[in-house]
Amino acid sequence: MKLMFRPPLLHLLLYCATQALGVKIQSVPEVSSDGVIHTEVEQTVSLVCQPDSSYELQADEELVWLRNGAVVNLKEGNKKGRSSVCVTPIIYEENGAMFTCHLSKNVTVSASVTLNVTYRPQLSGSEQVIVEEEAELLLQCDIWANPPVSSVSWTLNGSKVDLEAGGFTVTNDGFTSRLSSNNIEKSLHEGTYECLADSPIYGIHTKVFYVTLTERTMKFPMMPMIAGLVVVCLTALLAVFSRWEKITKCCK
């Protein structure tokens, strides 16, 4: 997040209903009636705080900005009379962030706004997947979005995935949708898969998986062989030690 501070352009500011106990916050974009600013990733939000007409700011009194309770560092000259904060570019982590402005000498004289950052599912492109027969197939697509996607579906070669026939399992934790199957077969599981996530405001986003199955290869049993070699070496060493006295006599 990059915070920049600059004098406000009053003709660009949209007044909002974030006014309480002597101070008010003006914002671009406009603040909703419940004190929420709706914006998107990579956009800019400009905030201006100033006393309302019912409160006269003392000469030495300053305005303080907080973000989620932490003080925002302001430049000199951006604290008295009115104070502005510019958040740019908006990032995912700004979703739900609360900005509060209050008087330095009286924290009860304050106003707050909350950011609602919308973003589309990070779902696009294609991926080549090569899996051995009789192994596990696991495909996953990121569906994290705000607002959350309304539905997620999987297709195989253009048709809805037959979960029962292919022994598939689909899981969805709100962030990632996973399609998996154990002991896969070429005739049932090879092909083109597509994950489709439907966003209420951004529409359908998809990702394609080209799955190719290869013949199962016999893996070299490395661990059993290492264990066998260790046993052989230890046995040999024990045999040498047990005959050490006879060996030394022969060498004299």
| Phi, psi angle pair for 73, to nearest 5° | -70, 125
Q: What is the mean pLDDT of residues 190-211?
A: 97
Say if residue 21's pLDDT is above 80: no
For residue 8, the model assigns a pLDDT of 36
In the numeric block, which tokens belong to residue 6?
A: 């600059």
Q: Give me the sheet containing 137-142, strands edge to edge.
A: 137-142, 176-181, 168-172
Return the domain boundaries, the chain: 2-118, 126-214
Domains 2-118 and 126-214 share a fold: yes
Higher confidence at residue 10 or residue 25? 25
| Phi, psi angle pair for 24, to nearest 5° | -145, 155
CA 236, CA 230: separation in Å to the nearest integer?
Answer: 10
For residue 216, the model assigns a pLDDT of 85
Question: Of 18-27, 84-93, 135-144, where does mean pLDDT reach its minimum?
Answer: 18-27
- CATH superfamily, region 2-118: Immunoglobulins (2.60.40.10)
For residue 2, the model assigns a pLDDT of 45
Say if residue 233's pLDDT is above 70: no
For residue 23, the model assigns a pLDDT of 87
For residue 246, the model assigns a pLDDT of 56
Q: Which residues, in sequence order, are CB contacts of 39 under 8 Å at separation 6+?
A: 29, 45, 90, 115, 116, 117, 118
- Give me the percent of the chain exceeding a pLDDT of 70: 76
| Fold entry, domain 126-214 | Immunoglobulin-like (2.60.40)
Say if residue 252's pLDDT is above 70: no
Average pLDDT, the chain: 84
pLDDT tens track for 98-154 = 999 999 988 988 999 999 999 999 999 999 999 999 999 999 999 999 999 999 999
Say if residue 4's pLDDT is above 60: no
